[in-house]
Structure 1
């Protein structure tokens, strides 16, 4: 408290004496209090701290000696210096009693001003020094309190942090080991403190050499970071990321380490690397399959129209199988789901299919092969077999055999079967993709209907539960070319080749004006300038979301569908009523979806 004044106390029963002393003592920085009796003096001393008390010896009631004795008997006033003021003759008895009562000096009346001021100056300076020392003491206490509070907060943060905090001295002896370090490495602080880190099994020789290099006198870098392996009590070596700070003390440097366990990150990096490798493998395999299908189709097709129909259908089968596997994060997927997909796109007719078999899952490779197989079987049945006439049926059954299944495709009610003179591409494709092993695929060309037997010896996992019922097939849209005739269509697509393909299909389906835009701004401008009967909206335009375009179409009451390689979860939210055509798509599904947008089924028909 730098502004607190130094206080003196004058105790005298005669007011004139007090005023005289006050006048002699008065100076800047000094506050002089007056008391006319011992009682009043004691009351003041309970309130204020005094650097000096001047006591009149002879006072009525309690005299100066008795007041001094009372002051010395009380803790608060025991240290107050006392100077007696007396008009009596000085004798040894009085002087002895005064010193015995605690006085430090005597002043005899009449008072010599010079003597009084010199004596008072001594106690004024002592009081000022005591005040300054008290202020310094208070400041040191505050600093110590703030230091202890900061240290406590730092310790709480280090103990609760997911990081481990470790302090090493110049010789790599462990000086501090946080609670986080105990949790991270499964080692208690009392087992490690004051021990060389390299002798504990926590730090190996290579790590010790790295940290010693950080502490080397010639190294001026204040901070370091690296990755190294440190020892866990139970798990053994674990990968860690370490950040080191050099703290230079008066005698030696210390190293403060902040350590992060990166086991999960390393595992994730390994998984990511594995997934990238697997993705590259799958992409190249898929492209190789597409290349093989294209080459064989070109070689065995009668003309380009025949090639286009077969190639696009097979490509669609692969694409839908990929979608099923993507929904299951490329884990196994149910065989029933693959069959349901064939029904959903119209390759199979749910009313003309009878299936039976235990629920099983297929691995990704097996799923892709079976997708092509079922597509070929269904396509052949529609062209030549049981599904080419109104009354034909397909029976699809499978039973478990060892670690696999035996699947039977049996056609009934179709035209009389004549065994082919030579195997076509479709038959060869079924035999190749379904198994590839001798005897894995067998075709029995019975007159009443062909029977295919396919043995899958691997890639099959049995499941518990009943097979799901097949959903209804899509409602046929009669004459989509007639429905789309003359309609104006907005195509929002950033891939030029895909946009060109969509435009060609729309024009073949009878659409009128087709406008293509390739960005969000261009789409919004087109909606502001023109009126469209239909719209096809890509799910993403060069990385930019299409929410604004979808909202503009809804506000303009323009029926639209999404055309995207993304699943529904990656499309704008709140537009679940807009159909989704996934790329790549068959031309029939495009025209059929647009026809349903223009003429949605009535509620009664939907029932």
Structure 2
């Protein structure tokens, strides 16, 4: 049913006539308006839409004929049907004038109710049908607007989407080609629309066979498929794509294929890189463990006592670990030689005040960096035991030069005790020679009385750095203070690895310290710190995957000195605690004792007794 009622208009200068017509016309769904003059009638017709107008022919000022002519001259009222109401006898001239003025019929007074109602019923039904048609028109317009809005949204989505939207007919001819498809494949829509995807070169025969199989599937509904297909890019050739397809029925056995295409070239490359990295990681881990095993066995074989073994093995392991840290900072790419030398100085293996270095800026590959780290550690350790660094006046000159793709590195000791060639070559000599890749001629020693001179030739893994690209050399600092005594100090260990905690405990108890407790979680660490009675804290950088920022803040608030013990670099530790030293795992016992002794010597207030 229409939403709005039907309206009739009665125009008559006599109120009784209006009342009589209203009484005869009254029914549900009909509103009857009335006017007693032409002006009043025209005003009503400007406000309302009427399905029928009854006009009295005889009115004092503007008669019915004149009013009808006025209605026909106005766009809004031109289509209103008019029935003239008259009591006069009608001759042909008067009747013709009425129809010429726009009348559709006449009703004569006295009015026959049956005739009036039958005629009114016709226009009432026409009015209802007109209202219904208007309602349907409005609904269709709403539907069309909604359709256009949805289509615009879909087009905008397709055009702006990183996916390519493509429609193919049953012959694999391209029907639609989105802006995303233009971007993804470098092909404008005009070059493909109406062509078969194979003839256009976008789809190869194998892909065409696959899509044809989707179209020929006998599944009910709108079957959906997915596959990885190589599709052609206009500039770079075939690219790997993930294609999602829906088969749509168009009636009479006709079908089309709606495709959504995603370029997965980068994902494929990432998967390949990830597989390569996992393989490389496994390779490096196994190689590292094999190297550690070899260092342990050879160090044990050539050590006179367990104490000698601990010192030699721990130092070599530390050198290897620090080289790994340098390479991790460089994401396992090449790292500068100067950075490796600075690391040897900061660890105490070399004395920066007694080292003179000279050479062009170069960087080393990971394998070369690891081998040279062990080499410099052995050279520095030997110099501290027997050579130039064993006496205050001794000096080391470390120089290098590039000879084509090779690096020739010279280690020269002066000012030390008289030198005599060793009676036999030990494992340390083997490690020094390892820098050249194991070639016996790559590392040569000249045992001069005034000081040994080592010449080491690296034939691979060396690249010259441009002067502007050379990283700033860290300021040279003295090595950590030599162990003093930790006798009587109270130390809290915050460490979640039981074996590491046990090793630290034994080492510190051997130095005379008292371990007040071992905390393995953040909550335990905070509770132990707040309980008091500690002079120093060794804080792991991460406890069971939980950061230790809160623990560091509590310790600072209590003025309890602490140091980090972690396998992480400084950049992965809590920020804002640069005053706390970092002991990297694995640690050397002498470095551990030296750093802790220096930390206690800062004179920070003790914790509450």
Instruction: Name whichever of 169-178 and 134-143 sits farther off.
Output: 169-178
Q: Which residue of 1 aligns with 2:578?
A: 576
Q: Which residue of 1 aligns with 2:607?
A: none
Q: Deviations over 1:352-385 (max 9, x none)?
A: 1111111111111111111011111111111101
Task: Work out the CA distance in 1 between the residues paired with 2:375 and 2:479.
Answer: 25
Pair 1:419-2:421 in alignment: yes
Residues 477 and 257 of structure 1: CA distance in aligned 2, closer, same or farther (over 3 Å): same
Q: Which residue of 2 aligns with 1:78?
A: 78
| TM alignment of 1:248-263, pairs within 5 A | 248-251=249-252, 252-263=254-265
Contact 2:565 2:585 in 1 (8 A): yes
Contact 2:435 2:458 in 1 (8 A): no
Pair 1:246-2:247 in alignment: yes
Residues 2 and 576 of structure 1: CA distance in aligned 2, closer, same or farther (over 3 Å): farther
Secondary structure of the corresponding residue to residue 110 of structure 1: coil
Task: Work out the CA distance in 2 between the residues paired with 1:552 and 1:533.
Answer: 14
Instruction: Name whichever of 428-437 and 407-416 sits farther off.
Output: 428-437
Instruction: Name whichever of 380-389 and 249-258 sits farther off.
Output: 249-258
Task: Work out the CA distance in 2 between the residues paired with 1:574 and 1:584.
Answer: 24
Contact 1:486 1:513 in 2 (8 A): no
Secondary structure of the corresponding residue to residue 441 of structure 2: coil
Q: Which residue of 2 aligns with 1:488?
A: 490
Q: Deviations over 1:263-296 (max 9, x none)?
A: 1111111111221122122222212211221222
Task: Work out the CA distance in 1 between the residues paired with 2:190 and 2:430.
Answer: 74
Task: Work out the CA distance in 1 between the residues paired with 2:380 and 2:432.
Answer: 11
| TM alignment of 1:133-212, pairs within 5 A | 133-212=133-212
Task: Work out the CA distance in 1 between the residues paired with 2:297 and 2:514.
Answer: 35
Q: Deviations over 1:130-185 (max 9, x none)?
A: 11110110111011111101111110111011111112233322221110011101
Secondary structure of the corresponding residue to residue 513 of structure 1: strand
Q: Which residue of 2 aligns with 1:335?
A: 337
Contact 1:503 1:514 in 2 (8 A): no
Pair 1:564-2:556 in alignment: no
Cα deviation for residue 109 of structure 1 reads: 0.4
Task: Work out the CA distance in 1 between the residues paired with 2:160 and 2:368.
Answer: 50
Q: Which residue of 1 aligns with 2:411?
A: 409
Q: Deviations over 1:39-75 (max 9, x none)?
A: 2222222221110000111122322122222222322
Residues 354 and 499 of structure 1: CA distance in aligned 2, closer, same or farther (over 3 Å): same
Task: Work out the CA distance in 1 between the residues paired with 2:420 and 2:131.
Answer: 120
Unaligned runs of 5+ in 2: 605-609
Q: Deviations over 1:97-127 (max 9, x none)?
A: 2222221111000111121112111111111
Q: Which residue of 2 aligns with 1:281?
A: 283
Task: Work out the CA distance in 1 between the residues paired with 2:288 and 2:407.
Answer: 25
Task: Work out the CA distance in 1 between the residues paired with 2:489 and 2:603.
Answer: 19
Unaligned runs of 5+ in 1: 603-607
Cα deviation for residue 217 of structure 1 reads: 4.5
Q: Which residue of 2 aligns with 1:357?
A: 359
Q: Which residue of 1 aligns with 2:442?
A: 440
Instruction: Name whichever of 211-220 and 78-87 sits farther off.
Output: 211-220
Q: Which residue of 1 aligns with 2:5?
A: 5
Residues 574 and 243 of structure 1: CA distance in aligned 2, closer, same or farther (over 3 Å): farther
Q: Root-mean-square deviation (CA), in Å?
A: 2.0
Q: Deviations over 1:443-496 (max 9, x none)?
A: 111111111111112211112327855633346536532xx2222222122221
Q: Which residue of 2 aligns with 1:23?
A: 23
Partner residue of 2:499 out of 497, 500, 515? 497
Q: Which residue of 2 aligns with 1:472?
A: 476
Task: Work out the CA distance in 2 between the residues paired with 1:470 and 1:236.
Answer: 49
Task: Work out the CA distance in 1 between the residues paired with 2:440 and 2:291.
Answer: 21
TM-score by length of 2: 0.94
Q: Which residue of 2 aligns with 1:605?
A: none
Contact 2:2 2:128 in 1 (8 A): no
Q: Which residue of 2 aligns with 1:232?
A: 233
Contact 1:579 1:593 in 2 (8 A): yes
Secondary structure of the corresponding residue to residue 409 of structure 2: strand
Q: How many residues are paired up?
A: 600
Task: Work out the CA distance in 1 between the residues paired with 2:243 and 2:195.
Answer: 20
Cα deviation for residue 553 of structure 1 reads: 2.8
Task: Work out the CA distance in 2 between the residues paired with 1:576 and 1:118.
Answer: 102
Secondary structure of the corresponding residue to residue 4 of structure 1: coil
Task: Work out the CA distance in 1 between the residues paired with 2:521 and 2:457.
Answer: 50
Task: Work out the CA distance in 2 between the residues paired with 1:494 and 1:157.
Answer: 51
Task: Work out the CA distance in 1 between the residues paired with 2:446 and 2:121.
Answer: 128
| TM alignment of 1:581-592, pairs within 5 A | 581-592=583-594
Contact 2:346 2:480 in 1 (8 A): no
Task: Work out the CA distance in 2 between the residues paired with 1:439 and 1:470.
Answer: 33
Contact 2:159 2:180 in 1 (8 A): yes
